[in-house]
Amino acid sequence: MMKKIFTRPKALTESPFHYCPGCSHGIVHRLVAEVIDELGVADDTVGVCPVGCAVFAYNYFNVDMFQASHGRAPAVATGIKRSLPDRIVFTYQGDGDLASIGTAEIVHAVARSEKFTSIFINNAVYGMTGGQMAPTTLIGQKTTTTPAGRDQEETGFPIKMSEMLSTLDGAAYVARVSVHSPQHIVKAKKAIKKAFEIQMSGKGFAMVEVLSICPTNWGMSPSESLKWLEENMIPYYPLGVYKEPAEVK
């Protein structure tokens, strides 16, 4: 008999992803699901999906799920975790969701050190609504609302959420990873697992920012997009662990 070495994680349903070819959302869903499987916590996990391309994540994760209004997933997760302190709660949010309309909710959830985990997809653009500028869009990057390229005189500077949130005492674990290469995917999974373990140990808020691609709205092929991420996003958004509990260092 042949040994199966690549199967669908149990924490994913059978529903096929609706994401565009090459999109990072599918990879990150898989990583989160593998972590839920490895920790054996599917029965205790409650996820909160955003408004954005990942809005249908409730069809994909094979755990109890909430769909939250745009940007408010951290408030919804707060309500869930405060009601069910022994469950494992995560939010899955894009950069428009977490870093623009929902900045107040994420900042205060971190400040309160809410014991949930946020997976933050930074693809430098608003995917779902047609490629508009996100708070994370790079200077010079063309989007549908910055057709000549983002100009800092007009629209200011991209927000570095991991750096910013890691200054808050309530942040237990903050890391930025990328999924543009197999090696980086392995590292990303480790960070996601750590972020769940930190929550389970009750140490406080944990977030993993995942640098991601949106070939559709970047107007590039998936392989060009991976290269663009590496050459443009990583220099501005350095990878690494920005905050972790002293004992686990």
Partner 1 sequence: MSKILMKGNEAIGEGAIRAGCRHFFGYPITPQSELPHYLAKRMPEVNGVFLQAESEVSSINMVYGAAGAGKRVMTSSSSPGLSLMQEGISYLVGAELPCVVVNIMRGGPGLGNIAPAQGDYFQSTKGGGHGDYKLITLAPESVQEIIDLMAKAFDLSDQYRNPVMLLGDGVLGQMMEPVELGDIKDVKQTEKTWAASGMKGRNKPNIINSLYIQPEDCEDMNEKLFAKYAEISGKEKLWEEYQLDEADIVLVAYGTAARICKSAVDKAREKGIKAGLVRPITLWPFPDNVIADAASSANNVLTVEMSMGQMVEDVRLAVNGTCPVHFYGRSGGMVPLVSDVLAEIEKLAAGGDR
Residues that bind ligand TPP (CB under 6 A): 51-54, 70, 94-97, 121, 123, 126-129, 134
Residue 169 binding partner 1, by CB under 8 A: no
Please write down the HEC assignment for all residues of 104-144.
HHHHHHHHCCCCCEEEEEECCCECCCCCECCCCCCCCCCEC
Q: What single letter denotes the amino acid at residue 81?
A: K
Residue 237: which of ligand SF4, partner 1, ligand TPP, none does it interact with, CB under 5 to 8 A by kind?
none
From 12, 23, 54, 75, residue interacting with partner 1 (rule: CB under 8 A)? 75
Question: Torsion angle of alpha carbons 19, 242, 143, 20, nearest 10°?
Answer: -10
When CB distances to ligand TPP are compared, the closest residue is 94
Cα separation of 15 and 219, whole Å? 27
Cα separation of 137 and 144, whole Å? 11
Residue 127 binding ligand SF4, by CB under 6 A: yes
Residue 44 binding partner 1, by CB under 8 A: yes
Cβ 69 to partner 1 shortest distance, Å: 5
**Nearer of residues 83 and 181 to partner 1, judged by Cβ:** 83
- Residue 29 CB neighbour total at 10 angstroms: 21
Residue 53 binding partner 1, by CB under 8 A: no
- Both tokens of 59, joined, read 């069809």
Residue 65 binding partner 1, by CB under 8 A: yes
Residue 29 binding ligand SF4, by CB under 6 A: no
Which H or E run contains 218?
Answer: helix 215-218
**Nearer of residues 94 and 204 to ligand TPP, judged by Cβ:** 94
Ranges within 202-231 binding ligand SF4 (CB under 6 A): 214-217
b/e burial code for range 221-244 (CB count within 10 A of at least 16 → b):
ebeebbebbeeebeeebebebbbb
Cβ 58 to partner 1 shortest distance, Å: 5
Residue 78: which of ligand TPP, partner 1, ligand SF4, none does it interact with, CB under 5 to 8 A by kind?
partner 1
Q: Can you state the angle between helices 182-200 and 24-39, rounded to 10 degrees?
A: 50
213: which DSSP letter?
-
**Nearer of residues 88 and 128 to ligand SF4, judged by Cβ:** 128
Residue 55 binding partner 1, by CB under 8 A: yes
Residue 25 binding ligand SF4, by CB under 6 A: yes
Q: What single letter denotes the amino acid at residue 109?
A: A
Ranges within 24-43 binding partner 1 (CB under 8 A): 42-43
Q: Which residues bind ligand SF4 (CB under 6 A)?
A: 19-20, 23, 25, 53, 123, 127-128, 214-217
